Amino acid sequence: MMSLGRLKQITPVLLFCLGVTVYTPTNIQNQSHVIAMFESGAGVEVIENKGHLTARVYLPMTFLVTTCYKS
């Protein structure tokens, strides 16, 4: 477990730690909707709704891999 001394809480719903910004929308009080944004530009959104968990991964265009095979 990470010590709380290394975490920097900016607002009640925004937390920055080691290159990751964790955000919860202000209208969500039970943390059922959490967004994590990484310094690389990637992001993860996790939503819980009535016992169902949804996760979305967002990647910048720089993560796009183009492969070309020559025969």
Q: So where are the chain's domains?
A: 4-60
More confident residue, 67 or 30: 30
Given a contact cutoff of 8 angstroms between Cβ atoms, the answer to whether 35 and 45 are in contact is yes
By three-state DSSP, how is residue 26 classified? coil
How crowded is residue 20: how many other Cβ atoms within 10 Å of its Cβ? 15
Given this model, what pLDDT does residue 24 score? 85
Given this model, what pLDDT does residue 27 score? 80
By three-state DSSP, how is residue 27 classified? coil
Given this model, what pLDDT does residue 49 score? 92
More confident residue, 6 or 66: 66
> Which residue in the block uniquely carries the two structure tokens 């819980």?
48
* Tokens matching residue 39: 């310094």
pLDDT in tens, 21-62: 888 887 877 888 999 999 989 999 999 999 999 999 998 888
The amino acid sitting at 62 is: T
Given this model, what pLDDT does residue 31 score? 80
